[in-house]
Amino acid sequence: MPSRNIPSARLRRIGSALRKAREDRRMTMDTACRRYGRSKGWLSALENGLTSIDRQELADLLDFYDVPDGPLRESLLHLAAHDPGKNWERIREGRISAAALDLAGLEEDAALIRNFEPCVVPGLLQTPDYARALMAVGPVRPARNTTALVAFRMARQKVLARPDPPRYVAVISESVFHHQVGGPGVMQVQLRRLRDAVQSDTVALHVLPNSAAAHLWLAGPFHLLSLRPPGDLTVSVVEQFTKSLFVEDDKEIALIEKIFSLLLEASLDQEGSLKLIERLASRP
């Protein structure tokens, strides 16, 4: 397939998943190319999201890497069947679904993650008990595999602890800290987790105070993920009631970035946010 000058989030998502599949098989790029019968330049471009791959060849490559049937394989084949550079939707389910895998894959490939949360603590900073309490609620509760979902969410958090973590900037509504998710004990531990998180040089938390609550009408929860080179690529994940919308359109991204800037400007600075969290965490 022809090379692309500008990567897309879809191609980057496919490429990063293939890179991980190759590394999981403990294959160097040279070994994989020799055994699969394609050039190193082709595989390098593919893993970096610089070239497309058709659905059938992707299926063959997934077979080569022994990627089994399941949400990951379904997700990648779905992405390969649609035009790169277009927005796409994922249904959220009470299991580790394509939506969760796509978000986690983009987090792994990000240099900068910006996140706005008006209702809950961000997933990358949740404690296991807080996450478990959230997952106990919802219309698809009987179908949920809560243990697996909590483990998957905790695994996502490892991206912030790796040697080359992305910069993570979160804006959280103050009202989130007053929601009794799981009860007072769970919330106390969760607040301490947030307090500890800001000790990292790569994590910034900003609280949107109740005095600026008018800003909450601007948006529901969303992520902005600026991916590592090659390319200057930012994708947004907008959380809706039953689905996640993955946005690549440049004009839409510019608007979402403006909204994040407005929310950040209305929020407390890092020091003020930490003082508020520490005050709440120290309450009996």
pLDDT confidence of residue 99 = 82
| % residues pLDDT > 70 (the chain) | 92
Q: What is the DSSP string of the chain?
A: --B-SS--HHHHHHHHHHHHHHHHTT--HHHHHHHHT--HHHHHHHHTT-B---HHHHHHHHHHTTPPSSHHHHHHHHHHTS-TTS-EEEE--SSS-HHHHHHHHHHHTEEEEEEEESSS--GGG--HHHHHHHHT-STTGGG--HHHHHHHHHHHGGGGTSSSPPEEEEEEEGGGGGS-SS-HHHHHHHHHHHHHHTTSTTEEEEEE-GGGGGGGGG-SSEEEEEEPSSS--EEEEEE-SSEEEEE--HHHHHHHHHHHHHHHHHS--HHHHHHHHHHHHT--
What domains are there in the chain, each with its CATH number?
Answer: 9-80 (1.10.260.40), 89-281 (3.30.870)
pLDDT confidence of residue 232 = 75
pLDDT at 225 over 90: yes
Please state, rounded to an integer, the average pLDDT across all residues of the chain.
Answer: 89
pLDDT at 16 over 90: no
pLDDT confidence of residue 93 = 65
pLDDT at 3 over 50: no
The tens digit of pLDDT for each residue in 67-103 reads: 998 888 888 888 887 766 667 777 766 677 888 888 9
pLDDT confidence of residue 84 = 62
Confidence of residue 1 (pLDDT cuts 50, 70, 90): very low
The tens digit of pLDDT for each residue in 108-156 reads: 889 999 999 999 999 999 999 999 999 888 765 545 688 889 999 999 9
The tens digit of pLDDT for each residue in 23-41 reads: 999 999 999 999 999 999 9
